Chain A
Amino acid sequence: EAGVTQFPSHSVIEKGQTVTLRCDPISGHDNLYWYRRVMGKEIKFLLHFVKESKQDESGMPNNRFLAERTGGTYSTLKVQPAELEDSGVYFCASSQAVFEGYTFGSGTRLTVV
């Protein structure tokens, strides 16, 4: 089966610009998660979708981040306006059931300059 797909794989933008990251989960996986790893830090949770609904968005750092999952399929994570501290690797994961083994995408490396 196809895995979790993320794009772009890399993005370099200037401070103040907008960037949209996309995640295509494994087909049939209702649960979709966004995580972020900032340089030198551990991976941290951002938010969790169950189908198109936000189950938990407690990890979203601030209101510059907006995640959507229209129709319960792919998801987008928009950062607007981007700040330097937003640089990092953004991972998406999906699972069929919560707390079941889930599959990570390869991540999007975002660099804000």
Chain B
Amino acid sequence: KNQVEQSPQSLIILEGKNCTLQCNYTVSPFSNLRWYKQDTGRGPVSLTIMTFSENTKSNGRYTATLDADTKQSSLHITASQLSDSASYICVVTHSLGGSQGNLIFGKGTKLSVKP
């Protein structure tokens, strides 16, 4: 079964600290993996997208890694800010051609950054 599992479910850290969120997937065949940030009451916003040949990709203080062999990805947030408080969703694209129905979403990790 094609699934995306994220851990932890929730995380509380102090402002300025780093954190790493995990994503394990069983989707096969695999096309790409995306990390999204979803603020409360808003839609998901893309942070990074990686194909199977990419090991790491950065977007400011966000760095995503991908190990396509072990089917694991991580999102590392450096020097966290209060505005980083949000849900972070891992989305894996199943490489069947054509339809967006091939996107498999994780449940997300809810990050709270405290002052």
Contact = CB atoms under 8 A, between A and B. Distances in A.
B42 A99 contact: no
B43 A45 contact: no
B64 interface: no
Contacts of B41: 9, 106-107
Interface residues of A, number: 26
B10 to A, nearest CB: 13
B93 interface: yes
B98 interface: yes
Contacts, number: 56
B44 A104 contact: yes
Contact of B43 (A55, A98, A107): A107
B83 interface: no
B100 A48 contact: yes
B79 interface: no
Interface residues of B, number: 21
A42 B106 contact: yes
Interface in B1-33: 4, 31-32
B100 A33 contact: yes
Interface string A20-36: 00000000000101000
Given A59-B101, A99-B31, A103-B43, 15 more contacts: A42-B4, A42-B105, A42-B108, A47-B101, A48-B101, A56-B100, A56-B101, A91-B44, A98-B99, A99-B100, A101-B49, A105-B43, A106-B43, A107-B41, A107-B43
Interface of A: 4, 9, 31, 33, 40-45, 47-48, 55-56, 58-59, 91, 93, 98-99, 101, 103-107
27 contacts: A40-B107, A41-B107, A42-B4, A42-B106, A44-B105, A45-B100, A45-B103, A48-B99, A48-B101, A55-B100, A56-B98, A56-B101, A58-B101, A98-B99, A99-B93, A99-B100, A101-B46, A101-B49, A103-B43, A104-B43, A104-B44, A104-B45, A105-B43, A106-B41, A106-B42, A106-B43, A107-B43
